[in-house]
């Protein structure tokens, strides 16, 4: 891995949203980005870096978060929004070219519709007041608000889809996590059931995230299903949840160590050597980013037990439930960069690099040396220091851990706080490796969404 | 918030003439970048984002902007007295007096980092720490007062100022709990979408004439 990287600002997405923007969520496969702000969501095209469509009129208070439903057939989009109005909204977008069986069709639609809309949007910005009305008539045909998920008592802070799309998790200031199951007969048949209300946190639940579908996750799928959920809270803890085989969702681990609100978390996205269980990254008001790992003990014994019983059957005796308890430890604290709350961090499934940002307006990128080469890495850092950028290797204590700072940018959104950072594939004409090259996208209090080239 | 009895029926009240002010000193001439906050200070409905938009639209800076920044740099920096003037005039939600008169806000409990006397880079962040002394240790309105102070400063100060509100140590029974709530950006944002709470805070600002 390179000893340092450079972040170069690209042209911001147009138009800006002109109010605090909370988060920008890339579609898992298509060149689309959903930015939450005020009571709506703006969808940007990653091909043109301009507005594609908007989701308006579904919520009575700010939309805090959004998640794309994974694994939909071509030509269909589904976004779930979580709002301060205590509801989650389910939205659907049908491509006009329904007869097309081509997987690329939606991407083409996205590109063309963006291009045709751009001039009229610019005209609207200039014309000012009637902006809202004309915008609505423009987009209402596209996005349909199809379902409201009600149940939380207070603001929803985060929503997340399980990798299969079967489960949706929502969390709220009411200290609970709700798990909803898609029980509709077909895609587009919107019927969702509440399968669990988890209320073990002592404070607001700030974020939820499902473990990705990598080999290491499925290898551990012994007791219940393979799905694993993590939640981060105002009570400074992180909790891990699994289904116990009897349809009950239980807390299998409490991760303690952060000294402030845990603003969020993300699972490691790429498969690990030896099919280890994915690690978990958490970030906090205590200005640290932490990495947690499952202690995979009793591997032999559990393998033995596995032979006798089908792990998917519901007939697991209660005495085995103790086996659900998991031992998680903090295996790394990333080098200190930030001076205030870390509101967001993103772990690239492609490169393994982590980016973080927050109240201090700094964007930092970290890289990990393979632990078996730790000694070598230390030497590399020492040798790289004289020639490297002043902001990169200088502050790293080689002995602390194998993570080091690869690059930082101060005042990423000028004087404003940055609420969100995410890795995102590039599809714009500026890249020669469309859909492969990764960039960072940051979202701030200034209402701008900014892409950053990584070199 | 509706109570049959006041939390503290007989608070100590200081006369306005005894409160710290810049009287007698030459008041700095306000113009240039700072005068554009006036509409914020006088108006209630505008969001801070709207006012500072002008700065942001031209970011990232080209040469012209650098000059603008340099101009701003030579302006009188924002000092503790200016912060005091902004927040001491907020009304108490329960008494017909201001937070300055009730000594909830005190000049000595306002800290700016780095100090206004230090020359700093034009894009450097500043932190304003305000320690609040509720009139009695179990004052249930401490959170509302803290929220009002935070909102007032966030609206009035440039976006490079970060506002931290804390209960002065030992002044309140649930210090940590209140401090944590007031430091939580997401909770503050959601609270301001609550019309009842917003109404209470706007009422507290009606005495802020400056």
Q: Cβ B123–A206 below 8 Å, yes or no?
A: no
- Residue B52: closest C-alpha in chain A: A446
Provide the β-strand partners of residue A344: A357
Structural domain boundaries of chain A? 7-298+323-454
Q: List b or e across B116-150, with b for residues whose CB sees 16 or more CB atoms inside 10 angstroms.
A: beeeeeeeebbebebbbbbbeeebebbbbbbbbbb
**Tens place of pLDDT per residue across chain A (455 aa):** 568 999 999 999 999 998 999 999 999 999 999 999 999 999 999 999 999 999 999 999 999 999 999 999 988 999 999 999 999 999 999 876 544 443 344 554 544 444 444 333 333 333 333 444 444 444 445 899 999 999 999 999 999 999 999 999 999 999 999 999 999 988 889 999 999 999 999 999 999 999 999 998 987 766 668 999 999 999 999 999 999 888 999 999 999 999 999 999 999 999 888 889 999 999 999 999 999 999 986 554 444 444 444 444 444 444 445 568 999 999 999 999 999 999 999 999 999 999 999 999 999 999 998 654 444 444 444 444 444 344 333 343 444 459 999 999 999 999 999 999 999 999 999 999 999 999 999 999 999 999 999 99
Alpha-carbon dihedral sign for residues B138, B139, B142, B143: positive
Per DSSP bridges, beta strands A228-233 and A238-243 are antiparallel
CB contact under 8 A, B180 and A234: yes
Evaluate whether A287 touches A345 at the Cβ level (below 8 Å). Answer: no
> What span, in angstroms and rounded, lies between the C-alpha atoms of A244 and B50?
51
What's the complex ipTM? 0.82
Using CA atoms in the order A40, A41, A42, A43, what is the torsion angle rounded to 10 degrees?
Answer: -150
Q: Which residues of A touch B193 (CB under 8 A)?
A: 61-62, 84
The domain ranges of chain B are 33-207
What residues of chain B lie within 8 A of the CB of A417, using their CB? 162, 185
Q: How far apart are CA A13 and CA A16, in angstroms?
A: 7
With CA atoms as reference, report the closest residue to A313 among A405, A225, A395, A437.
A225
Q: Give B-chain residues touching A411 at CB under 8 angstroms.
A: 123
A2: Cβ contacts below 8 Å, ≥ 6 apart: A367, A406
Q: What is the residue whose two structure tokens read 């002394």?
A: B133
**A416 neighbourhood in chain B, CB within 8 Å:** 56, 159
Distance (Å, rounded) from C-alpha A347 to C-alpha A130? Answer: 41
Query: Does B162 contact A448 at a Cβ distance shorter than 8 Å?
Result: no
How many Å apart are CA A205 and CA A199, to the nearest integer?
A: 10
In angstroms, what CA-CA distances link A431 with A24, A51, A352, A428? 20, 19, 20, 6
The answer, for B123 touching chain A at a CB cutoff of 8 Å, is: yes
Task: Say which CATH class A7-298+323-454 falls into.
Answer: mainly beta
Q: Do B185 and A417 touch (CB under 8 A)?
A: yes
Q: Which CATH superfamily is domain B33-207 in?
A: Fe-S cluster assembly (FSCA) (3.30.300.130)
Peptide bond connecting B114 to the previous residue in cis, omega within 30 degrees of 0:
yes
Q: Characterize the bridge pairing of strands A249-255 and A262-267.
A: unpaired
B207: closest CA of chain A, how far (Å) = 28
Contact call for B184 and A64, based on CB within 8 A: no
β-bridge mates for residue A171, sequence order: A158, A177
Buried b (16+ CB within 10 A) or exposed e, B79-105: bbbbbbbbbbbbbbebbebbbbbbbbb
Question: For residues A374 and A321, what is the distance between their CA atoms, to the nearest angstrom?
Answer: 38
Whether A414 sits inside 8 A of B193 (CB atoms) is no
Beta-carbon pairs below 8 A across chains A and B: 65
- The shortest CB-CB distance from A20 to any of B49, B55, B125 is to B49
Chain A residues at the B interface, defined by Cβ less than 8 Å, are 9, 18-20, 61-62, 64, 84, 154-155, 157, 173, 204, 206, 234, 261, 285, 340-341, 343, 359-361, 410-411, 414-417, 445-448
- Which chain B residues contact residue A410 at CB under 8 A? 123
Asked if B60 reaches chain A (Cβ–Cβ under 8 Å), the answer is yes
Query: Which of A144, A146, A35, A135 lies closest to A88 in space, CA to CA?
Result: A146
Residue A217 CB neighbours (<10 A): 22
- Residue B186 and residue A157: Cβ atoms within 8 Å? yes
pLDDT tens for B16-50 read: 888 898 765 554 444 444 444 444 444 444 444 43
Cβ–Cβ of B184/A340 closer than 8 Å? no
Spacing of C-alpha A302 from chain mean position: 32
Judge whether B53 is closer than 8 Å to chain A, CB to CB.
Answer: yes
Q: Which residues contact A69 (CB under 8 A, 6 or more apart)?
A: A78, A79, A80, A161, A165
Structure tokens that stand for B193 in this block: 């979408």
CB contact under 8 A, B59 and A64: no
CA torsion angle A172 A173 A176 A182 (round to 10): -10
Query: Considering only CB atoms, which chain B residues are within 8 Å of A414?
Result: 55-56, 59-60, 123, 159
Q: How far is the C-alpha of A114 from the C-alpha of A108, rounded, in Å? A: 10
Helices (H) and strands (E) in chain B, counts: 8, 3
């Amino acid at each position: 891995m390179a000893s340092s990287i450079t972040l170069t600002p690209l042209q911001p997405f147009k138009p800006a949203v002109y109010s605090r923007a909370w988060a920008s969520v890339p579609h898992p496969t298509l060149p689309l980005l959903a930015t939450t702000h005020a009571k709506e969501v703006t969808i940007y095209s990653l091909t043109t870096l301009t507005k594609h469509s908007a989701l308006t009129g579904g919520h009575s208070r700010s939309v805090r978060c959004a998640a794309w439903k994974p694994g939909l057939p071509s030509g269909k989009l589904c976004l779930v929004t979580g709002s301060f109005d205590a509801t989650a909204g389910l939205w659907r977008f049908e491509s006009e070219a329904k007869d097309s069986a081509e997987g690329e069709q939606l991407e083409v639609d996205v590109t063309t519709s963006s291009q045709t809309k751009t001039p009229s949007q610019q005209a609207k910005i200039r014309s000012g007041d009637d902006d809202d009305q004309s915008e609505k008539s423009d987009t209402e045909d596209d996005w349909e608000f199809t379902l409201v998920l009600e149940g939380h008592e207070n603001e929803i802070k985060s929503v997340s889809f399980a990798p299969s799309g079967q489960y949706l998790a929502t969390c709220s200031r009411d200290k609970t996590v709700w798990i909803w199951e898609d029980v509709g007969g077909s895609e587009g048949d919107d019927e969702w059931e509440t399968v669990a209300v988890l209320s073990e946190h002592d404070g607001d639940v700030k974020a939820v995230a499902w473990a990705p579908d990598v080999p290491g996750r499925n290898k551990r799928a012994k007791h219940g299903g393979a799905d694993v959920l993590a939640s981060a809270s105002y009570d400074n803890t992180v909790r891990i949840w699994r289904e116990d085989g009897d349809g009950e969702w239980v807390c299998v681990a409490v991760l303690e160590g952060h000294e402030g609100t845990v603003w969020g978390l993300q699972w490691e996205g790429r498969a690990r050597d030896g099919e280890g269980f994915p690690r978990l990254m958490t970030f906090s008001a205590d200005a640290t980013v932490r990495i947690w790992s499952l202690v995979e003990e009793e591997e032999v014994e559990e393998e033995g037990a596995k032979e006798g019983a089908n792990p998917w059957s519901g007939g697991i005796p209660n005495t085995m439930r103790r086996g659900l308890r998991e031992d998680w430890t903090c295996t790394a604290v990333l080098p200190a960069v930030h001076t205030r709350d870390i509101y967001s961090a993103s772990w690239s499934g492609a490169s393994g690099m982590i980016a973080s940002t927050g109240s201090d307006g700094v964007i930092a990128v970290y890289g990990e040396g393979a632990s078996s080469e730790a000694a070598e890495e230390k030497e590399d850092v020492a040798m790289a220091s004289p020639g490297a950028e002043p902001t990169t290797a200088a502050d790293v204590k080689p002995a602390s851990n194998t993570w080091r700072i690869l690059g930082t940018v101060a005042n990423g959104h000028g004087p404003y706080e940055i609420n969100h950072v995410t890795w995102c594939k590039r599809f714009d004409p500026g890249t020669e490796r469309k859909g492969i090259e990764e960039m960072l996208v940051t979202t701030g209090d200034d209402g701008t969404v900014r892409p950053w080239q990584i070199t | 918030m509706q109570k049959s009895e006041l939390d503290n029926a007989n608070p100590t009240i200081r006369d306005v003439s005894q409160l710290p002010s810049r009287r007698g000193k030459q008041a700095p001439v306000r113009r240039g970048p700072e005068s554009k906050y006036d509409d914020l200070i006088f108006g209630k409905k505008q969001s801070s984002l709207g006012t500072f938009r002008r700065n942001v639209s031209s970011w990232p800076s080209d040469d012209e902007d650098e000059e603008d920044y340099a101009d701003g740099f030579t302006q009188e920096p924002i000092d503790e007295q200016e912060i005091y003037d902004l927040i001491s005039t907020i009304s108490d939600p329960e008494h017909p007096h201001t937070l300055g008169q009730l000594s909830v806000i005190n000049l000595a409990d306002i800290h700016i980092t780095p100090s206004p006397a230090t020359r700093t880079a034009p894009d450097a962040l500043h932190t304003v720490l305000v320690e609040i002394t509720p009139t009695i240790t179990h004052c249930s309105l401490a959170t509302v007062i803290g929220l009002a102070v935070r909102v007032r400063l966030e609206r009035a100060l440039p976006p490079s100022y970060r506002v931290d509100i804390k209960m002065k140590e030992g002044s309140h029974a649930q210090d940590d709990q209140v401090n944590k709530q007031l430091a939580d950006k997401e909770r503050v944002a959601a609270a301001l979408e609550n019309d009842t709470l917003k109404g209470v805070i706007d009422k507290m600002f009606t005495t802020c004439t400056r």
